[in-house]
Structures are given as structure tokens and as C-alpha cells.
Amino acid sequence: MKIVCKAPGKVIISGEHSVVYGHPALVAAVNVYSKVSVEAFNEIGAHEIFSDKYGFAKMIGRAFSGPSQLKPFARIIDVFRDSEGFKGRLRIRISSDIPPASGMGSSASLSVALANALLKLVYEKPFDEKVFSLAMEGEKVAHVNPSGVDVAAALWGGLILFVKDKGIEKLEAGQGVFLLADSGLERSTKDMILKVASLKEREPDLFNIIMSSISDVTIKISRLLQTDMVEAGRLITLNHLLLSLMGVSNSRLDSLVWTSISAGAYGAKLTGGGGGGCVLTLVDEGSLNAVEEALRNLNASTMILRTVEKGVYTEELE
């Protein structure tokens, strides 16, 4: 049996890092996808994972051999095998158009696509809660203490207000266009999460002020995106300043933010874990070309993003 599933990437409009500590995050599923193919064989043997970016991994029992980047998917296979009593052999191929280490949820998108494909071996229509839980097993390997916001975006699609362990509120997609600018700097989400945890331990009062402020900003942006782009943009930029106070920005990201705003953007901020990755810019159609040109003059590649309402789906079933 062969199943092919696709899941979208995401951008966090507001609330990264604070979402880990129970505050809301505003996230949009966007028109960049990962793809997972699962073939199941009714025989005993090694499970195989093929990746267009990371190469090949093999699993015999619980023993794993291959690139560390593929360990999250091995964990998903282990949990699936144990929870569903699967006895066969698996051949898995993963690919993604989502840039890795960019803050766009590449690992979560792949985890959701894999979890959905595996569960479809057992259920005609897997429950969302099962897909979410299984995908989170991979994210725990990839990111230490994931909030689940990336998984939620890949699973359900659309514009989402997410609170850890409390669920989601689906919102009407906002006005304007999101332009993503790649800083060219790779970063580790895990390192940034640990950096924020260190701030919480060293300066708890400052940490609490920042978290409370980001929470307020996130809620306000979620209500303004449909009605007031100017104010929404200002608050997006304020979110970037708060993330900078947290220590997860740098001079390259700051430069892309202020260049975007100077060229006519409503607002801009780092998106994702920080330390590198991408900057998210809110623009309208009239200023799009000028902002793109200004960012490219800083050697930042750009991508126009649109919110997609559909989350993970089955592309092929044999």
C-alpha cells in the first residue's frame, strides 16, 4: 500500500517563544509544502527513510542508523508501531519546498504529513487529535519543548490563534500580503528556546513583562489584520522589538526589518525561533515591489506568501 500526503508550512505573525509558556500565538499556514510518501509491506525487515536533503536512514527494531536530522521521523515510526500494533515494513520518502531552519515549520510540516500517512494505513480518516499527538512526538525530538503551534498550522491550515494545551481559534484571513525575506543565516530553534529559558531563570521580572506584552500584542494583531493594516503593522514591529529584548534577534535581522519599513512596509519582524532564518514583512500590493527591491539590495532572497485554508491532505492513495 502506498500513501502520499502533503502539508503546508507556516509563519508566526506574532507570539513565537511566548507560546511555549502558555501565551497565544497568531500563525498562518502558507503556500509552501512538504511531501511524504509511505509504502507499507506485509513482511518483516528494516524500515527505510529517504530524504532529498539529508540522505538515507534505516531502522531495525529500535536501532537507528542515519543522519540525526531524520531522528524525529524515526521516533514517529516507533510510536506509531507501538500504539497501532503495526507489524509490517515501511519505506518512507520525504521532501520539502520549505527552507529548513527558516522559521517556517519545515520539521512540523513533515511530521504532520508523515503522521497522517501512517495513520491512514490503519484508519480511513484519522482523528485530528491522533495526527496531532503523533506528529508532536517528532517535534519533541527536533525542538526540545515545542508548543505545538507549527503542528497546528500544518494540520488545520488557515489563520489560527493558538494557545498551548488549550486549542485553536480559526480566524478570517487578513488583508495585505506577507513578504518573507531570508537572512541567509541558519539557526537552531533548540538553541533559541534554551536562550529564552535562560533569560527566564536569570531575569524573571523582565521575562514576565516581555511575555505579557507579546501576549497583548498578539491578541490585538489577530483582531486588526482584517480591518486596520497600519496599526497591525505597527504592532508587528513592536513584537520584533520585544523579541530583540529577549535576545533572539541580531543585526542582520534588525537591518532587514528597518529596511522593509523604510521602503513602505506596514511592519516587519523576525519569524520563528530567531538568531537567523527569516523576516516577515506586512505589505500591500502597492508597496510590494519597492520592499522586495530594497530587501534584495541587502542580498536577501524573498518569497510572497499567501494564507492557505487547507491543512494536511492526501494527494495519492494506492
H-helix or E-strand spanning residue 97? none
Q: Give 277's pLDDT tier (boundaries 50, 70, 90).
A: confident
Higher pLDDT, 153 or 192: 153
> To which CATH superfamily is domain 177-305 assigned?
GHMP kinase, C-terminal domain (3.30.70.890)
For the domain covering 2-171+308-317, report its CATH number: 3.30.230.10
pLDDT at 90: 96
Q: pLDDT exceeding 90 applies to what percent of the chain?
A: 76
Mean pLDDT of 6-27: 92
The residue extents of the domains of the chain are 2-171+308-317, 177-305
Q: Measure Cα distances from 253 to 73, 120, 214 in Å.
A: 31, 41, 18
pLDDT digits (tens, 9 = 90+) for 37-62: 999 999 988 999 999 999 999 999 88
C-alpha grid cell for residue 63? 536501532
Tell me how far apart the alpha carbons of residues 209 and 241 are, in angstroms, rounded to a whole number.
13
Q: Give 318's pLDDT tier (boundaries 50, 70, 90).
A: low
pLDDT digits (tens, 9 = 90+) for 116-136: 999 999 999 999 999 999 999
Tell me how far apart the alpha carbons of residues 73 and 51 are, in angstroms, rounded to a whole number.
11
Backbone angles phi, psi at 228, to 5 degrees: -140, 90
23 has pLDDT over 80: yes
Of the candidates 11, 4, 16, 53, which has an alpha carbon nearest to the alpha carbon of residue 31?
11
pLDDT digits (tens, 9 = 90+) for 195-253: 999 999 999 999 999 999 999 999 999 999 888 999 999 999 999 999 999 999 999 99
pLDDT at 13: 94
194 has pLDDT over 70: yes
Global pTM reads 0.87
Mean pLDDT in the chain? 92
